[in-house]
Amino acid sequence: MTQARFKALLMETLFRPRDAARVLIGFGFPQQSLWMALALMSVLNSIVYSVSLRLSPPTDPAAMMLMPPAFHSPLLFTVFLFGALAITVFALFWVGRMLGGQAQMSDVLVLICWLQVLRLILQVAVAISALAFPMVAVLLIFLSSIWGIYILIGFVDSAHRFDNMFKSAGVIVLSIVAMAVGLSILLSLIGVAAMGGA
């Protein structure tokens, strides 16, 4: 992908997420390659997160203590992030299919992978902004969170061929419930592993 095409796809994702989703799905990447890409993005996002945490640690030491064990170790955070993303993929796929969606697993995978690329770019931008303009970083996080929901709804709608944004939003809500259960189990397992390795 050329730099110009990358920028065009990025802008399309921000303002026309359903069209961008169709382009991404149209690439037809093999499912195995997409799982590998998701693992790679988990590693890269974990590295940026860990560096950001060391450059701008929480001002309140108690906040660090309250963080789950997985958030203190880059390796454990990578495992947690990949597990969380995998749960997200399966939840959006199965919940959508149960509600009449037509997405293939690879369709959801490529969209989640692309969202992680955007997340990596955002994390770098936030980390740089936080060093000089903390309030800008906070505003950037807030705006990206709201905009991210809009993009995800468009992605789910396009992947499952709903043509109904409200139904797509329902899929996301139900998926969040399923993910909450899955992530609580994952965090418990990682916490046990962390204590075992201590």
How would you write 3-52 as a 3-class SS string? HHHHHHHHHHHHHCHHHHHHHHHHCCCCHHHHHHHHHHHHHHHHHHHHHH
109 has pLDDT over 60: yes
Domain ranges of the chain: 18-56+66-197
| Each residue's pLDDT tens digit, 130-164 | 777 888 888 888 899 999 999 999 999 999 999 99
What is the pTM for the complete model shown? 0.86
Residues recorded for the chain: 198
Under a CB-based contact definition with an 8 Å cutoff, are residues 163 and 100 in contact? no
Best CA proximity match to 58, nearest among 146, 134, 139: 134
Q: pLDDT tens for residues 47-93?
A: 988 887 777 665 555 555 556 655 667 788 888 899 889 989 999 99
Q: Among 116, 151, 111, 119, which Cα is nearest to 31's?
A: 111
Residues 47 and 45: their CA atoms lie apart, in Å, by 5
Percentage with pLDDT > 70 across the chain: 85
pLDDT attached to residue 99: 93
